[in-house]
């Protein structure tokens, strides 16, 4: 019987297989950042173990880093101490690091792909759940905890429990004004935040193949929000074109060898998935969340649901609680929800294409009264590219704040936070209670919806701008 | 890692689904560089409410958390496991756990027990009616017992063995270092490296 893409990549990385034990998998690339690594390095130190493969390991600073005054010492002493800990650990163990101020610094999931380190058919891990992003290249990429970070540092392997396979096939072409973020939010709403548990999802179909690498990364990034262990897309010409010429991509004869191998990384026609979900792209539309988990979303044209109509008692209770926390009322039109803040950035939507989409919409317009907009590029490279295209000017003339690269308001570990009760439209990945700041209320949106919302001051799609005459 | 065989203790019934890791331990606690001292951050936002179940005096000293489905969704932060352990929890019972959280808990010796939602409901009813009611989580017998309730749970043999013995994963893997070295010898040369090999 044929194998799925995920099974092929998995099988190619089994170091040891024994009855009754999890497979021991080899890890091709280990990405580190300051938050989930200090205790792992401590463990190595206590056991007197080195980093086995410093040449397959790379660190960057992203979660804690400020997006203002980056040339000054970090104001928060606890954040500063954590970042300094990463720098010390990298120096002590010989790990390459891109620190704040370095041209290659940025969000770990933006940095790996742009350096060409993320390649088809490889295994990638990072102590961050959004490692799923790298699956956009046909890599098998897992978010791991700190104990596993230590395990990979020490052994370059991980014992991994077997997974199930799920195909999410998006047939047909996405309608105008509907993008990768709308697609993945709709998928999560459909299968639920636990629907992917135990599965590696492979995204397939025309709408997926039509996506750019940036769009594919957006889709795979949020696989974890559906509970999946990883998300993948088979590599194709779009993947190869993105990789060609990147600093760590193979060159010359190696490139040809690599591409030939990469072309084999597709699910065999006779392979069987454990679960299949089919979505008609034509039925998708701009999609936003109304609740406090990423599965609590709906098309922008709809309303906040009435929990009374929800049959499952656990789901109903969750919806009631979410609506109360979000300060909404059942039946309220989603378009009537006014926001205080618009956040554009994160490992979900902080890449150059995302910034271009936003700039296209806000160019020549003014931000709505009383709305604060932050634009935070995913990496310094993205920032430089945006500046070279004049996008920074477009944002500042619109009335947005153009910031330095990092995770920023996606999780508010740095000073970029919502105040209690404040409401955001955010291109990030999680709308959990307090995620963007204590008491903050988050609506997850696409870059296009974020831009239109910033113009109108309430949740909106670009098509609403002409209707509103702005 | 401390071995886990069987544990008996009082419970905290947490009637919440989708308890995400941002609720278990908010991001600002993640700046710490140690594995301890997270107990005050556990459910920090919810604990501001004096009526929150963890704040109830009759729940003091409880060691078994009984939660709604999809516990531990969201971030990969192992700090969520440490926070629960630092607070004193030895086991968490839920109908569904997020994969990364479950993996992290098994590394650190916090037992995550999957039971059907109907059983979770019975445990809620029992421990809400009588806060002194004890729950026994028996990893040896793969069974949860509380009052009249006896429920078997599944856990794979390998994980169970590791937890029963309190074994360190890294040590186990390094027993097979020869396999790793021979795998490395066969890796194609064109695979990416983060830096030139010295």
- DSSP class of residue B33 equals -
**Percent of chain A whose pLDDT exceeds 90:** 97
Q: What is the mean pLDDT of residues A427-455?
A: 97
How far is Cα of residue A255 from the mean position of the Cα atoms in its chain? 28
Banded model confidence at residue B196, pLDDT cuts 50, 70, 90: low
How much is the mean pLDDT over chain B?
A: 95
pLDDT at B67 over 60: yes
Banded model confidence at residue A173, pLDDT cuts 50, 70, 90: very high
Give me the pLDDT at residue A470, please: 82
Report yes or no: A414 and A433 within 8 Å, Cβ to Cβ. Answer: no
Q: Cβ B76–A63 below 8 Å, yes or no?
A: no
- Chain B neighbors of A49, CB-CB under 8 A: 170
Lowest mean pLDDT, pick from A12-26, A66-80, A287-301? A66-80
Give me the pLDDT at residue A469, please: 84
H-type alpha helices, A94-199: 108-114, 146-155, 180-191
pLDDT at A28 over 50: yes
Q: At what angle do helices A38-47 and A77-93 cross, to 10 degrees?
A: 40
User: Nearest by CB to A82, which of B17, B31, B69?
Assistant: B31
Q: Cβ A28–B192 below 8 Å, yes or no?
A: yes
Q: What is the mean pLDDT of residues A11-17?
A: 98
Q: Please check whether residue B61 touches A, CB under 8 A.
A: no
- Chain B neighbors of A432, CB-CB under 8 A: 20, 22-23, 74
Q: Please check whether residue B37 touches A, CB under 8 A.
A: no
- What are the structural domains, with CATH classification, of chain A? 5-263 (3.30.499.10), 303-468 (3.30.499.10)
B195: closest chain A residue by CA: A55
Give me the pLDDT at residue B197, please: 40
Give me the pLDDT at residue A125, please: 98
- DSSP class of residue A457 equals S
Q: What is the pLDDT of residues B10-50, one digit of tens each?
A: 999 999 999 999 999 999 999 999 999 999 999 999 999 99
Lowest mean pLDDT, pick from A285-289, A320-324, B107-111? B107-111
Banded model confidence at residue A467, pLDDT cuts 50, 70, 90: confident
Higher pLDDT, A255 or B1: A255
Tell me the C-alpha distance between A280 and A168, whole Å: 11
Residues 6+ apart with CB under 8 A from A211: A180, A219, A238
How close A243 comes to chain B (CA, Å)?
A: 12
**Percent of chain A whose pLDDT exceeds 70:** 100
Give me the pLDDT at residue B9, please: 98
Q: Cβ B31–A119 below 8 Å, yes or no?
A: no
Q: What is the mean pLDDT of residues A118-123?
A: 98
Q: What is the pLDDT of residues A180-207, one digit of tens each?
A: 999 999 999 999 999 999 999 999 999 9
How many Cβ atoms from other residues are within 10 Å of residue A241's Cβ?
11
Q: Could you state, in order of their start, the residue ranges of all structural domains in chain B? A: 6-185
Tell me the C-alpha distance between A402 and A315, whole Å: 39
Report yes or no: B56 and B5 within 8 Å, Cβ to Cβ. Answer: no
B164: helix, strand or coil: helix
Could you give the C-alpha distances from A324 to A41, A156, A307, A314, A316, in angstroms and in order? 42, 46, 11, 16, 12
Q: Cβ B176–A16 below 8 Å, yes or no?
A: yes
pLDDT at A458 over 50: yes
A361: helix, strand or coil: helix
A410 is known to lie in a ligand binding site? yes
B36: closest chain A residue by CA: A39
* Residue of A189, A349, A167 whose CA lies nearest to A283: A189
How much is the mean pLDDT over chain A?
A: 97
Q: What is the pLDDT of residues B129-139, one digit of tens each?
A: 999 999 999 99
User: Nearest by CB to A314, which of B69, B98, B192?
Assistant: B69
Side-chain-side CA neighbours of residue B62 (13 Å):
26
Banded model confidence at residue B195, pLDDT cuts 50, 70, 90: confident
H-type alpha helices, A48-127: 77-93, 108-114
Beta-sheet pairing, A287-289 with A297-299: antiparallel
pLDDT at A124 over 80: yes
pLDDT at A364 over 50: yes
Tell me the C-alpha distance between A215 and A352, whole Å: 11
Please give the CATH number for the structural domain made up of B6-185: 3.20.19.10
Tokens of A10: 């998995």
H-type alpha helices, A48-168: 77-93, 108-114, 146-155
Burial class (CB in 10 A: 0-12, 13-18, 19+), B66: buried
A159: closest chain B residue by CA: B173
How close A192 comes to chain B (CA, Å)?
A: 10
- Chain A neighbors of B176, CB-CB under 8 A: 15-16, 24
Tell me the C-alpha distance between A131 and A111, whole Å: 12
Q: What is the pLDDT of residues B71-85, one digit of tens each?
A: 999 999 999 999 999
- Could you tell me the pTM of the whole model? 0.96
Tell me the C-alpha distance between A329 and B124, whole Å: 29
């Amino acid at each position: 019987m044929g194998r799925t893409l995920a099974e092929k990549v998995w099988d190619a990385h089994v170091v040891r297989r024994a009855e009754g034990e999890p497979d021991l998998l080899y890890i091709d690339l280990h990405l580190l950042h300051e938050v989930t690594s200090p205790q792992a390095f401590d463990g190595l130190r206590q056991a007197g173990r080195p980093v086995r493969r410093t040449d397959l390991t790379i660190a960057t600073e992203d979660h804690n880093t400020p997006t203002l005054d980056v040339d000054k010492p970090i104001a928060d002493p606890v954040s500063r101490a954590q970042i300094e800990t990463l720098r010390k650990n990298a120096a002590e163990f010989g790990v390459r690091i891109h620190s704040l101020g370095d041209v290659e610094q940025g969000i770990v999931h933006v940095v790996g792909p742009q350096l060409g380190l993320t390649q088809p058919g490889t295994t990638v891990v990072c102590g961050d759940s959004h490692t799923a992003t790298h699956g956009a290249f046909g890599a098998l990429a897992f978010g791991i905890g700190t104990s596993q970070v230590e395990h990979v540092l020490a052994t370059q392997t991980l014992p991994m429990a077997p997974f199930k396979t799920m195909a999410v096939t998006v047939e047909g072409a996405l309608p105008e004004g509907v993008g990768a973020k709308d697609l993945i939010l709709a998928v999560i709403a459909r299968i639920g935040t636990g629907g992917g548990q135990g599965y590696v999802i492979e995204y397939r179909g025309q709408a997926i193949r039509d996506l750019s690498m940036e769009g594919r990364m957006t889709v795979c990034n949020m696989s974890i929000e559906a509970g999946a262990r990883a998300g993948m897309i088979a590599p194709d010409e779009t993947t190869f074109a993105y990789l060609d010429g990147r600093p760590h991509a193979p060159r010359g004869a190696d490139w040809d060898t690599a591409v030939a191998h990469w072309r084999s990384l597709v699910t065999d026609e006779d392979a069987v998935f454990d679960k299949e979900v089919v979505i008609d792209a034509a039925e998708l539309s701009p999609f936003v969340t109304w609740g406090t988990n990423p599965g609590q979303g709906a098309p922008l044209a709809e309303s906040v649901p009435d929990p009374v109509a929800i049959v499952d008692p656990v789901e109903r209770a969750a919806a009631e609680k979410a609506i109360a926390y979000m300060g909404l009322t059942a039946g309220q039109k989603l378009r009537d929800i006014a926001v205080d803040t618009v956040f554009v950035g994160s490992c979900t939507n902080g890449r150059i294409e995302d910034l271009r989409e936003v700039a296209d919409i806000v160019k020549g317009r003014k931000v709505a009264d009383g709305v604060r907009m932050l634009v935070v590029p995913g990496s310094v490279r993205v920032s430089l590219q945006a500046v070279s295209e004049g996008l920074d000017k477009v944002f500042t003339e619109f009335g947005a704040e153009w910031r330095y690269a990092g995770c920023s308001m996606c999780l508010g570990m740095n000073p970029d936070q919502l105040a209690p009760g404040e409401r955001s439209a955010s291109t990030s990945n999680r709308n959990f209670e307090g995620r963007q700041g204590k008491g903050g209320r988050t609506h997850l949106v696409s870059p296009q919806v974020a831009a239109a919302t910033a113009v109108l001051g309430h949740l909106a799609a670009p098509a609403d701008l002409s209707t509103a005459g702005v | 890692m401390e071995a886990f065989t069987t544990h008996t203790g009082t419970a905290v019934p947490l009637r919440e689904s989708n308890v995400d890791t941002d609720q278990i331990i908010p991001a600002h606690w993640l700046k710490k560089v140690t594995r301890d001292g997270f107990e005050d951050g556990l459910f920090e936002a919810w604990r501001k409410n004096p009526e929150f179940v963890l704040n109830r005096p009759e729940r003091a000293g409880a060691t078994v958390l009984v939660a709604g489905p999809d516990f531990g969704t969201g971030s990969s932060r192992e700090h969520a496991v440490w926070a629960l352990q630092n607070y004193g929890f030895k086991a968490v019972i839920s109908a569904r756990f997020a994969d990364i959280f479950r993996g992290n808990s098994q590394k650190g010796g916090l037992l995550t027990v999957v039971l059907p939602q109907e059983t979770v409901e019975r445990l809620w009813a029992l421990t809400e009616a009588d806060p002194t009611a004890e729950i026994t989580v028996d990893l040896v017998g793969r069974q949860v017992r509380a009052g009249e309730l006896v429920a078997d749970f599944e856990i794979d043999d390998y994980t169970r063995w590791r937890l029963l013995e309190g074994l360190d994963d890294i040590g186990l893997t390094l027993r097979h270092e020869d396999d790793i070295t021979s795998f490395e010898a066969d890796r194609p040369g064109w695979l990416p490296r983060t830096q030139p090999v010295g």
